[in-house]
Amino acid sequence: MRGVGGADELRVTSEHELLTSFRSFVRSEGARLYRDLPWRNTRDPYAVWISEVMLQQTQVPRVQTRWGAWLEHFPSVFALAEASAAEVLGEWQGLGYNRRALALKSAAEIVVNDYDGVFPTEVRSLTALPGIGPATAQGIRAFAFNLPGVYLETNVRAVFLHHLYPDAPAVPDRELIDPIERTCPGLDAPYAQPQDDTDTPQAWYWALLDYGAELKRLVPNPSRRSRSYAKQSRFEGSRRQKRAEIVRILLAAQGQALDLETITAKLNQVELLAARPHVGTDLVQEIMADLSVEGFCVDTGCAWTIA
DNA sequence: GTCCGGCAGT
DNA sequence: ACTGCGGGAC
C-alpha cells in the first residue's frame, strides 16, 4: 500500500493516517464531481436495483436514456413479475447483454412470491437472486438501504489501485477488500468513524464512483492492474453479435414461430447488409439451442417463438 | 482498438 | 481461473 494523492499532499506516518486522509480526499473529490443521476434521487429498492443491473458493464450515459422509460413501463416489482419475457426484452433492447433482462424478470417473480414484493437486504438473499452478484448486492445495500459493505466494482477498484497500489502490476481483489472495509462508513474500523450525518455508505460510494470515473479520464485505466482484468473479445463478427441479432428477429416476429431456415435467412439479410460472411444453419441451430436453454425462446418442435 | 457502476456457467 | 455475453461512444 502506498501514499495517497501526491506524496507532497500528505505526510503519511501510519496506515491509520493513510486511510483517514484517503477518506477525506475522496469525500472532497466526490463533492466536487458529484453527478446528479436520476436513480440517485430515489431510495426505492426496485428502482435502485434496476439501475444497478442496467449499469453492469454498461456506461452511465446509456443507462440515463433508458432507466426512466423502464420504470414507466414496469413501475414496480409486481409489474415486472407479471410482464412477458418478450415485453421485457423489448424494453431492454439497446442496453446489451440481454440475459440481464430475463434475470430481472425471474428475480422479480422470486421477490414477489418469496418476499411478498419486499426487497431483501441481506447479501446472501440478494446474491441468491438471478443477475445479482456481490457487486450489485452491495450497490443495492448502499444506495437503497444506506447499509455498509464492500462494494467492489470497476470505479472503486480504480480509485483504490491508483492511490494505494500505484506501482503494483497485478493486484488481486482480495488485497482490496481490507482497505475497502476499513474506509466504508459504518464498518467497524477506527478510520470509519462517521464525521457527520452526511458520512454514510451511500455518500461514500457515490463519491468513489464519481471520483473513479473522473480518474479514468485523467490516467490510464488503473483497473488494468487488477488481476481480474481481462481484455474482452472482439464483438464485430462475433457469435454474440449474431445471437443478439437473432433475439431481435424473434422479437420482430411478434410471437410468431420461426423455423431454422427462416431465422437463418433473416440473419443473413443482416449479415449481407453489414458485409459479413454468410452464416450456416448449423451455427444458427447451436445458438437457438442456447437461447432456448436460457429462456429467451421456446422450442415448438422445429420452430421457435420468443418466450 | 478501448471500455463500460458484472454475472453465471464450467 | 477462464469464457461468453451487447452495443455504442470515443
CATH code (residue A131): 1.10.340.30
Mean pLDDT value across residues A292-299:
97
Q: Each residue of A135-147: pLDDT tens digit?
A: 999 999 999 999 9
The parent domain of residue A160 ranges over: 15-35+150-225
Euclidean distance between CA atoms A39 and A60, whole angstroms: 11
A181 catalytically annotated: no
Predicted confidence (pLDDT) per residue in A182-212, tens digit? 999 999 777 777 777 789 999 999 999 999 9
With respect to residue A7, please indicate whether it lies within any of the assigned structural domains: no
**Å separating the CA of residue A132 from the C1' of nucleotide C1:** 21
Domain stops at, among A111, A145, A179? A145
Domain presence at residue A6? no
CB atoms under 10 Å from CB of A230, counted, come to 7
Is residue A255 located within the same domain as residue A182? no
Q: Does residue A208 lie within any of the structural domains?
A: yes
Identify whether A4 is part of a domain: no
Give residue-wise pLDDT tens across range A13-47: 688 889 999 999 999 999 999 999 999 999 999 99
Residue A246 neighbours by CB distance under 10 Å: 25
Strand B interface, protein residues by Cβ within 7 Å: A 35, 37, 39-40, 51-52, 55-60, 97, 103, 127, 129-137, 139, 143, 153-155, 158, 205-206, 209, 213, 216, 220-221, 223-224, 231-232, 234-235
Q: Shortest CA–C1' contact from A100: which nucleotide?
A: B7
What letter does residue A187 receive in the DSSP assignment?
S
What separation in angstroms does the CA of A174 have from each of A73, A160, A180, A186, A242? 40, 12, 10, 20, 36
* Å separating the CA of residue A183 from the C1' of nucleotide C7: 35
Total domain count, chain A:
3
**Do A107 and A155 belong to one domain?**
no
The model's pLDDT over A214-264, given as tens digits with 9 standing for 90+, comes to 999 999 999 999 999 988 999 999 999 999 999 999 999 999 999 999 999
